[in-house]
Structure 1
Amino acid sequence: MVVGKMKFTFQKRVKLAQGLWLLSWLATLGGAITFTLGCFLKTELRRRGEVMDNTDIHCVPNTLMIVGLASMGINYFASRICQDALDPGRFPRWKTLLKPYFGCSIFFTTLMLISVILSYAMKGSLETSLKIGLKNGIRFYKDTDTPGRCFQKQTIDRLQMEFQCCGNNDYRDWFEVQWISNRYLDFSTKEVKDRIKSNVDGRYLVDGVPFSCCNPSSPRPCIQYKITNNTAHYNYDHQTEELNIFIRGCREALVNYYMGLMNTIGAVVLSVFLLQSSVMASVRLLQTSMEAVAGQENVEIETEGYLLEKGVKETFMEYMDPVLKLLLLNQVNPSEAKLEEGATGTTTTS
């Protein structure tokens, strides 16, 4: 069954070729935008790489960069086809190249759609990665003298100030780790000794947070230490003093930032996908409508164009048959293998 069958006069073929030329260059620009967005997202993820536990999320920008470059090449090829489309003498030279062209177009256009789906579906992986990464970042905050962790404090402080957040889930995460280095603790004082002895692991834990958690919008000087002790500060109640430090956790802030970024990118790439699909469909209509003109003296005759000569399933199998045959050639036939084993055994016996 023919899919998308349409009739084309000479004037309609001319308009189709001209419109496709413009559309292909717009899609080329869309491919460049997709590649740029992939590079931007990759850069943003690498900036926060120290507070991420895995690199699974990088599959989104990597895919965007690949399909962006492929889209530019595919659409440039389509623009060249348009230039020769209405010349019966030059258009036939593209005939052998069009089948691989459509195969590549379908593959990379599908990959573009997958990248859009991934940009919306990676929230769980992103949240898990940030949960573990931020937990380790807070734990290693004090290790400014340890190779490989020297800049962890700077990274966490900048992160908390930039995104106006504190801790992993909230500011209480700082109460569970020793974030003050031992080199800045006076072990001769009773307070330090008592706090270390009261902890099973011998850590110096305080109900305080780093300075980067302080909210500059607070009407009073920042209270970093003894946050939960209302009697340690005048006219203070830590349950109501929400403006004194940032309440929101950094994981929530980063997830919202990156998901907002990826959702916006996904919407843009979806528009490019629709544009790319239009180019692919237009090239197919132009190709099939021009095939009827080949060998004709009168190029202004009315022709028919279509998207698929057969059904979707039949067309898919037609494209897959060469791939399947290639895979089968690399496999050993079991009956042939038994014959070879038998021949080897006979030779050894004799």
Structure 2
Amino acid sequence: MVLLKVKFNLKKRVKLAQGLWLMYWLAVMAGVLVFSMGLFFKIELRKRSEMMDNNESHFVPNLLILVGLLACGVNVFGGKVCHDSLDVTKFGKWKPMIKHFLCGCIVFNVILFLTALLCFCLRLSLQSTLAEGLKNGMKFYKDTDTPGRCFMKKTLDLMQIEFRCCGNTNYRDWFEIQWISNRYLDFSTSEVKDRVLSNVEGKYLMDGFQLNNNSAHYDYDHHTEELNIHTRGCRDALLSYYGGMMNSIGALVLLFTILEVAVTVGLKYLSTALETISNLEDPECESEGWLLEKSVKETVAGYMEKIKSLRKGKVGEGEAQAVATLGHWPNPLSLVTLVSVLTSVLDGL
């Protein structure tokens, strides 16, 4: 039984083809937008790559760039097919590949949907990456003379100014590391010696006690005021920034997926409506278009039968090869060899 059958005349077929052509070119622009957003997100990650523990977070922007490029190619081809479908004779050259193109569109729609899900799930990956990366960045903050770490201080300072944040979790993280280079310390003074000797690791740590001392400042309460430092941690600030960006991109890709599903369904109706034209010499004649040639249950059952037949064919070929091979072996070893060959065939499946 045909699923969702619709009757078309010439006017409806032309309107459908023209509408699909416009939607395909809209999808091309959406693909360019997805590519641009992926490129922008990759650049933003590169700008702060020194504060990230690994490059795993670049998988999503790379996928967005690839999907955007693929979307442009797929939709340009679909637009060309819809343009040529206005002439039945021109559509004939595309007819052999329409079925394969529609299958490819379905796969592409699944990839788009998974990409949208990855955009929404990226926050969890970024959280651990930023936590470890910021921790290492703060550890190397003082190493301005070390090759490869010369600009870490500048990078962290600019980030804290831009995002109005301090430390990893909060500003107290700076109290647990030595952020002043030894070249700026005078180890002949008693204050420096006492601080270094009081720490088990021999580091010069500052607890920033004046920040918590109300008497050290005029009209100041460290519990309520935020005059000297930013109380928000940089990990939360960056997560909020990147998380908001990826939520927006994920919503865009999800809308793009809906558009792609719509044009795929429309192209299916257009192709079946053109294939069922009974009289090519009479363009005014009616035709029928449908979404599936059979019901959903019958279609799924048909695909399952094809998969089973393919598996049986592979097993049959393996057994025939095993029997042909056994013909050249001595009889006492035939049973053992047959079992081993069949086991290998099953393992191959």
After TM superposition, the score normalised by the length of structure 1 is 0.86
Counterpart position of 1:167: 167
Corresponding residue for residue 248 of structure 1: 232
Structure 2 residues without counterparts, runs of 5 or longer:
334-349
Mapped to 2, the partners of 1:328 and 1:192 lie a distance apart of 80
Q: How far 1:169 moved relative to its partner?
A: 0.7
* Structure 1 residues 55 and 11: CA distance shift in structure 2, 3 A: same
Identity score, percent: 50
Paired position in structure 2 for 1:64: 64
Aligned residues: 332
Letter in 2 for 1:301: C
The residue type equivalent to 2:244 in the other structure is G
Q: Which residue is equivalent to 1:75?
A: 75
Map of 1:303 onto structure 2: 287
User: Alpha carbons of 1:339 and 1:185: their partners in 2 closer, same or farther (altered >3 Å)?
Assistant: farther
Aligned positions of 1:233-312 closer than 5 A: 233-293=217-277, 296-312=280-296
Q: In the alignment, is the contact (CA less than 8 A) between 2:28 and 2:72 conserved in 1?
A: yes
Deviation at 1:79, TM superposition (A): 1.4
Do the aligned residues in 1 keep the contact of 2:8 with 2:288 (CA within 8 Å)?
yes
2-structure distance, mates of 1:263, 1:75 = 25
Q: Which amino acid aligns with 1:293?
A: I
User: Aligned residue for 1:144?
Assistant: 144
Output the CA distance in 2 between the equivalents of 1:184 and 1:298: 91
C-alpha distance in structure 2 between counterparts of 1:40 and 1:137, whole Å:
23
Alpha-carbon distance in structure 1 between the residues aligned to 2:308 and 2:134: 47
**Partners in 1 of 2:156 and 2:135 — Cα distance?**
11
Q: Which residue of 2 aligns with 1:220?
A: none
Identify the range of structure 1 (294-303 vs 338-347) with the bigger mean alpha-carbon deviation: 338-347
Q: Is the 8 A contact 1:206 1:226 kept in 2?
A: no
The gaps in structure 1 that reach 5 residues or longer are 209-224
The normalised TM-score by structure 2 is 0.86
SS at match of 1:226: helix
Structure-2 separation of matches of 1:98 and 1:319: 19
Q: Is the 8 A contact 1:45 1:58 kept in 2?
A: yes
Kindly indicate which of the two structures has a greater share of residues assigned to helix: 2
1:64 is paired with a residue whose SS is helix
SS in structure 2 at match of 1:7? strand
CA deviation profile, 1:35-83 (whole Å, cap 9, x unmatched) = 1111111111111111111333222212211221111111111111122
CA distance in 2, matches of 1:101, 1:44: 35
Q: Which residue of 1 aligns with 2:343?
A: none
What CA RMSD, in Å, does the superposition of the two structures yield over aligned residues?
2.7
- Per the TM alignment, residue 3 of structure 1 is displaced from its structure 2 partner at its CA by 2.5
* Maintained 8 Å contact 1:64/1:112: no
8 Å contact 2:5–2:289 — kept in the other structure? Answer: yes
3-state DSSP of counterpart to 2:288: strand
Q: What SS is found at the alignment partner of 1:4?
A: coil
Where has structure 1 moved over 3 Å in runs of 4 or more?
229-237, 311-347
> Matches of 1:270 and 1:126 in 2, distance apart?
21
Residue 247 of structure 1 and its aligned partner are, at CA, apart by 0.8
* Cα offset, 1:32, TM superposition: 1.0
Structure-2 change in CA distance of 1:334 and 1:228 (3 Å): farther
